[in-house]
Structure 1
Amino acid sequence: MAFLDRSHIVLTSDRAIGARGKELFAGILLVALIATLGIRNVVPTDALAPAVVTLLFAVGAVAAAFALVCRRDRFRIAWLDLAGSLTFIGVVLSVLIEPDQLIRLCGVSDQSE
Structure 2
Amino acid sequence: MIIILIYVKLVGSRVDVSSLYSAMDVFFLPSLFEGLPITSIEAQAAGLPCVISDSVTKELVYSDLVCFVSLKSSLNEWNDQIIKQSMRKINRSKYLCDLKESSFYTPRADKLLSKYYL
What is the TM-score when the length of structure 2 is the normalising length? 0.25
Relative to its length, the structure with more helix (as a share) is 1
Relative to its length, the structure with more strand (as a share) is 2
Flag the structure with larger Rg: 1
What is the TM-score when the length of structure 1 is the normalising length? 0.26
